[in-house]
């Protein structure tokens, strides 16, 4: 999912990107974007059904997650 997000970000510079998925993958993505390790995703509030959550505005994905 991270490579997908990076590809979207490169293809849609200065545009909003909507990602629709199941809760756990989104929660893992949100944890990484928030500066947490992927395994810490359960420390964040669980995504509710049909929830909209914005990623931090200037997030970076650590090198260890980019392949």
Query: Per-residue pLDDT tens for 32-66?
Result: 888 888 899 999 989 899 999 887 776 777 777 77
Q: Which domain holds residue 13?
A: 2-65
- Beta strands (DSSP E) in the chain are none
41's CB contacts (< 8 A; 6+ apart) are: 24, 27, 28, 30, 31
23's CB contacts (< 8 A; 6+ apart) are: 46, 47
What pTM was computed for the model? 0.71
Structurally, how many domains does the chain consist of?
Answer: 1
Q: What is the pLDDT of residue 43?
A: 92
Cβ contact 4:26 at 8 Å: no
C-alpha dihedral sign at 48, 7, 57, 66: positive
């Amino acid at each position: 999912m991270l490579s997908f997000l990076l590809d979207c970000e490169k293809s849609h510079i200065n545009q909003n990107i909507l990602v629709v998925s199941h809760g756990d993958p989104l929660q893992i993505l949100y944890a990484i974007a928030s500066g947490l390790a992927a395994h810490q995703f359960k420390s964040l509030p669980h995504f509710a059904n049909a929830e909209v959550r914005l990623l931090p505005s200037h997030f970076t994905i650590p090198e260890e997650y980019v392949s």
